[in-house]
Amino acid sequence: MKLGIAARARSTTLAAAACVWLSGCALLRGAPEARSLTLDLPVSRSEAVRRTLTAFREQGYTVRASLTSGLNPETEPFRQGDAEAVFRADISGSESRARIVLSGTYHTRGLGGIVRSGEHEVRNGDDPLERALWSRLEQLRLAIRTP
């Protein structure tokens, strides 16, 4: 009976140590990379839509026209190096406050433009292409914030 209790205590201790070790490894990775930029503005939702559309156009993007593009404007695909990207804004709020969430996706072309990769989200990461696209999203955020 004593052997069973000692073995059970040892296995419980090993399981607890493994959990601590694994969670420590997760902490070393750091925080996940950001995939969107959020702006909270003290303006109406309609003013936020106007600012967003104006910023898209002033930054040189063509806004894709659709029936639902008012609160979810999206750019036409544009080139960034060997990639094609699309930026989006999700606008919500009320008559006194608005929230704008900016995000984007891209895909790369290979073999002379014949082969396309799958769609990837723009992230604030270490990849030079994603860093360039993230910088463009930050420029949009600044343009929207200042009327």
pLDDT in tens, 108-118: 876 665 556 78
Is-contact 25 76, C-beta < 8 A? no
Spacing of C-alpha 125 from chain mean position: 10
Q: Are strands 37-41 and 98-110 parallel, antiparallel or unpaired?
A: antiparallel
The model's pLDDT over 98-145, given as tens digits with 9 standing for 90+, comes to: 999 999 999 987 666 555 678 899 999 899 999 999 999 999 999 999
Backbone angle region of 64, left / alpha / beta, with phi > 0 → left and psi within -120 to 50 → alpha: beta
Q: How far apart are CA 94 and CA 97, in angstroms?
A: 5
pLDDT band for position 26 (cuts 50, 70, 90): very low
Answering whether pTM is above 0.85, one says no
